[in-house]
Structure 1
Amino acid sequence: MKKSVGFIPLRKGSKGIPGKNKKDLAGKPLYQWVLDEAIQSNLDEVFVFTDDEGIFNDVSQNYASTKVKALPRSQKSASDTASTEFAMIEFAKQIEYDFDIICLLQATSPLTTTKDINAALVKMENVEIDSLVSVVRTHRFIWNEDGTPQNYDIYNRPRRQDFNGLLIENGAIYCTTQSTLKSFSNRLGGNIELLEMKEESLMEIDSITDWKIIEQLLLIKNSNVKL
């Protein structure tokens, strides 16, 4: 069985929504939504990688008896200009690449579920898969800036039920093997598999408007009302 680790990178600084990772979202801090789902998943270990002392201490204290660990993130990897890949490499070196599969889970996608994470791990068990990205199927019609349609014929506009749609990254889950991360220094590389998630998971929290919409979705979800 391959060893899998969850990687949740959190930055203290946030210009769009100050302190968003610790901000209460439908009853608990933003970062805790994906963390709680990761804990219940089949991931062997889950790491919260952060430069925020408050989050670091909270995770260390509140999740001490679980498979969760908090690790310190350098100021360099937590800067506005550092890429997520830079943080992934820094983290991987800290734990000496002690994993077969690493799953990047984004706190800004709080609609991610344990089921989604487990589905990703099942796909990654395939020896022919090097990495995986979560996507959402959308039936929107896309246009180019020059006024030409990108994905449909305007003279034969398809009905929704006859239109297969497009697959769009939702920013929720990225998995890759140890060897692929080492080879490409990137979250994706080699033979890439897709994991299709529910349409509402397309939303990521990048603004206050996103926050309000996702909060309502979470409240509905927690009330057991079908979306």
Structure 2
Amino acid sequence: MDVAAFPLTDGHHVVATACSDAYIRIWLFDEETSTLSLKATSGFHAHCVLKVRALLVPALGSIDATYYLFSGGTDGGCADTVVDLGPPLHVESVHQSGVNGMDVRVVKTTQTSHTLLLATGGDDNAVSTAFISLDTATTQLPTARTIATGKISSAHSSPVTGISIATPITILSTSVDQRLNRWALSLNEGTREVGMELEGSEMVDVADASDMDVRVGRDGTLQVVVVGVGMEVLELRQG
């Protein structure tokens, strides 16, 4: 259903697959032999897994870094774990049904923890956000907790199929309704809520939009690609 990959050593890559039989599988790809070997599996979702993302997070007070996997299933839940697929460090219920789009970034680092932003889009037409504190300084397993969450239940008029984080306070979403929406985020740790305000909405010409990506240009513009039955590239100005 989905794939995430990252380099391990020269000529070797880790490939994580989200599978319809409710399993996440970790493979090792060898460039020299062009072979995939299965290294680990996990069925903790117990539902069809729709999305998987890999995020490199530095260890606090160390030059080491660890890849974490974030996954979402048809039950509307998201989980994160270290790449060896041990028990989930954190589980967040974000949608009523399937998680169709997912993005995650490190948005802040202190001496004691990292703050992650997790953004998802679902079959329920909603866009959901969560700020998560991840402590990697401990010699034991890392720990994670939710700082604040936010949700727009009717973010689109059809299932949300793609979502991307542009900046720590700006995310974009797209949907089968052929709209590209830009959301401004505000974090209130006192109420544990994430405010989400629609900043702009654009029509896209791509039918059956299935995914998207965004990057911030040197001049601060948002360069967005939406894919589906075709592909469209848009440039949006912030503010």
Per the normalisation by structure 1, the TM-score is 0.27
Kindly indicate which of the two structures has a greater share of residues assigned to strand.
Answer: 2
Structure of larger gyration radius = 1
Choose between structure 1 and 2 for higher RCO, CA contacts under 8 A separated by at least 6 residues. Answer: 1
Per the normalisation by structure 2, the TM-score is 0.26
